[in-house]
Structure 1
Amino acid sequence: MSPPTTDLTGLRVMVTGAAGGLGRAIAEAVHTAGGQLMLTTHDTDSLPRAAAGLDRGPEVVTAAADVTVDAELTEAVELATERLGGIDVLVNNAGVPGPVGPAWENDPAAWAHTMEVNLGGALAACRAVLPGMIERGRGRVVTISSNAGHTRWPHVSAYSVSKAAVNKLTENMAIELLPHGITMFSYHPGFVDVGLGAAEAVPGQSDDPWRRRIDSWLDAQRQDGKFTPVAEAVANLLRLIAGEGDVLTGRYLTHADDLAALVAASGRT
């Protein structure tokens, strides 16, 4: 990953789902840009991966906090407040891909779990950090979304619907948070070859025909050059973390958006 040019010195950033994939890439980029970090992972076993290699420079705090467990998120924020003085920016990254195949054939529990993690987890993390942000009168929340929620992704309905709900949650909460000086965005990083978009070790070998179909489609997108380099995917996110897009609060934004042009077009400063 190329070094980011955005300066995040002095900002305290919480990243959920930071043990690997996109979350790990976000953490590395924020750290390189000078931001202090609170990294949360699903369980204690994955904590060492979250902080590996980030032992020099800005302070990094880690905590095991399942985003479906409010008490664990609250404890993580309390630890961040003790060690860092609070949280300035929340990056809601934790997520699951969910079941594949026709929606009516999906296991109901798996479908509901996808909503619980991708939508409920984002809201739970907001519940944990917003009281402190409101008290300070400033803050930002960026929730990782997807084009699947902006348009559709047949046969991956739980994921698609959860991300559509994240976008709508962002729109509503952004208005609710305006009086408190807090901005909120949903952000699509593009297809990236880490995390949920990473290539299978043995492509097309799943026992599930729907999974093979999805894997083949993703591989075709990759071969057609439609995947986004991780550095590019993270670049606009860093700018949102830094506050460059604050006048666009409530928007669904992507890695390919020209933030400067959107800000100028908004007519607000």
Structure 2
Amino acid sequence: MMSILTETFPLSSGHRIPKVGFGTWQIPEGSEAYDAVTEALRVGYRHIDSALAYGNERSVGRAIRDSGVPREEVYITTKLPAEIKDAKGAREAFQTSRSNLDLGPIDLWLIHAPWPWQDIGSDHKAGNIEVWKVFEELYAAEQVRSIGVSNFDVEDLESLAGHTEVTPHANQIRWFIGNTQPETTAYCHDRDILVEGYSPLATGKLLDDDRLSGIAEKYGKSVAQVSIRYLLEKSVLPLPKSVTPARIEANAQLDFDLAADDVAALDQLSNSVD
């Protein structure tokens, strides 16, 4: 197994999380999700990221159960749908996710977004606080091992901090070369909130960026591998996804370091790609 897949980041919950996750966004329920997760586990991924809204929790859970990998070796994340902003809805959604996955306690549960996807930017601070208190209850009851948020910016995080007891253990945000959300990232790192980066390849847009190909050639790596490795150089947990077996494996071949001058060159591209 590639060593990076066995390395972990510490969480402020006291648990550890594998440094590279396998994302399942837009992988449909059924054979596609089952086969992709099965292949990821075969390659050596031990961190699988799903969400109730993805509609694929049942297939993800079944693939993990069927894999032969002991449950305690697999880290599973799922998420509360973004539109649920009340305690009753949060409790019901948690039980649905737990039943779908059928893996016992969930390792990490996230609020999927601070606002419903159909109303991005709308103010749901009160609802997020109400929901977070349910997260705290389930965390205290050890039904979930760690709790966090997704797509939260500094203002959203500050709102939670002022009215709740447990600081989120993780914040999963859109993070890639050219879009590194420096303010949110710094805020999280200063408060021991792990930053997870989804869309580390900018949903494929980085793959055709000539500025990255020269750096990739220097290491004998692909642009995808350099792009994903960059997150690790910044202590951000990457969540690459693919349904293609060769890419699932290649995206985990990250056992190399980027030189400081190359990291600096990639830093200069920050926020120039969207």
| TM interval, short-chain normalised | 0.3 to 0.5
TM-score by length of structure 1 reads 0.40
Instruction: Report the TM-score, using the length of structure 2 for normalisation.
Output: 0.39
Quick check: which one's helix share is greater?
A: 1
